[in-house]
Copies of this chain bind each other. A is one copy, B any other.
Amino acid sequence: MNIDDIMETIETIKSRRSIRGFTDENLDDETVTSILEAGRWAPSGLNNQPWRFIVVRNPETKVELSKLTVYGPTIKNAPLLVVVFLDKEHMYHYVKDIQSIGACIQNMLLCIHSMGLGGVWLGEILKSGEMANKILDAPDSYELMAVVAIGHPASKPRIPERKELDQLVFREKFGKSW
């Protein structure tokens, strides 16, 4: 791999932002499949692949889901939602499975960003997981993990703050700063 390729992946990682405002333009199935493909290639413990997805475009379903979270307007206005679940029938270790779901969501967000689309990872709705399952006919074994709202960006994102590495990293043992 050459230096441009290296820079491109790192640049995608660093320039990704949460996008909460979308135009009316829809996403076709091919685009959505690319996003889901990226999610599918995340690593998981013992390769158990515990992620499951329900793709929602139906406006009525979006309105119902939007009532379950303070971020309802984003859910209602996004042309497409990928609702992400942990399938507890295929769990092997709760903490590691949840980490792998995080890796899967991040893959999708990076793919979305690299395609010039915008997305936001919504977690506040987890408090209403049971209601979301009812709306989507999801079985009890499906535990709601996140809703990713996706579309063509209408708004410029603000640049978020990040802690500096010297607040996060230690050399060899705790206490000796990087």
Binding site for B on A (CB under 8 A): 1, 5-6, 8-10, 12-14, 16, 18, 33-34, 36-38, 40-43, 45, 47, 49, 51-58, 61, 93, 95-96, 98-107, 109-111, 113-116, 121, 123, 126, 136-139, 142, 145-146, 160-163, 165, 168-175, 178
Q: Indicate if the CB atoms of B138 and A171 lie closer than 8 Å.
A: no
Q: What are 20 A-B contacts with C-beta separation under 8 Å?
A: A5-B8, A9-B113, A10-B34, A10-B37, A10-B111, A13-B41, A36-B178, A41-B162, A43-B106, A52-B169, A53-B169, A54-B169, A55-B171, A55-B178, A93-B123, A95-B126, A98-B102, A103-B103, A136-B174, A137-B173
Q: A10-B114, A55-B172 are in contact. Are A162 and B40 (CB under 8 A)?
A: yes
Q: Indicate if the CB atoms of B8 and A9 lie closer than 8 Å.
A: yes
Q: In the complex, what residues of B have CB within 8 A of residue A111's CB?
A: 9-10, 13
Q: In the complex, what residues of B have CB within 8 A of residue A162's CB?
A: 40-41, 49
Nearest CB on B from A64, distance (A): 11
Q: In the complex, what residues of B have CB within 8 A of residue A99's CB?
A: 98-99, 101-102, 105, 123, 145-146
Q: In the complex, what residues of B have CB within 8 A of residue A58's CB?
A: 172
- Copies per complex? 2
Q: A49-B163, A96-B126, A105-B103 are in contact. Are A172 and B10 (CB under 8 A)?
A: no
Q: In the complex, what residues of B have CB within 8 A of residue A37's CB?
A: 10, 14, 165
Nearest CB on B from A139, distance (A): 7
Determine the distance from Cα of A88 to Cα of B119 in the docked complex, in whole angstroms.
28
Q: In the complex, what residues of B have CB within 8 A of residue A14's CB?
A: 37-38, 41
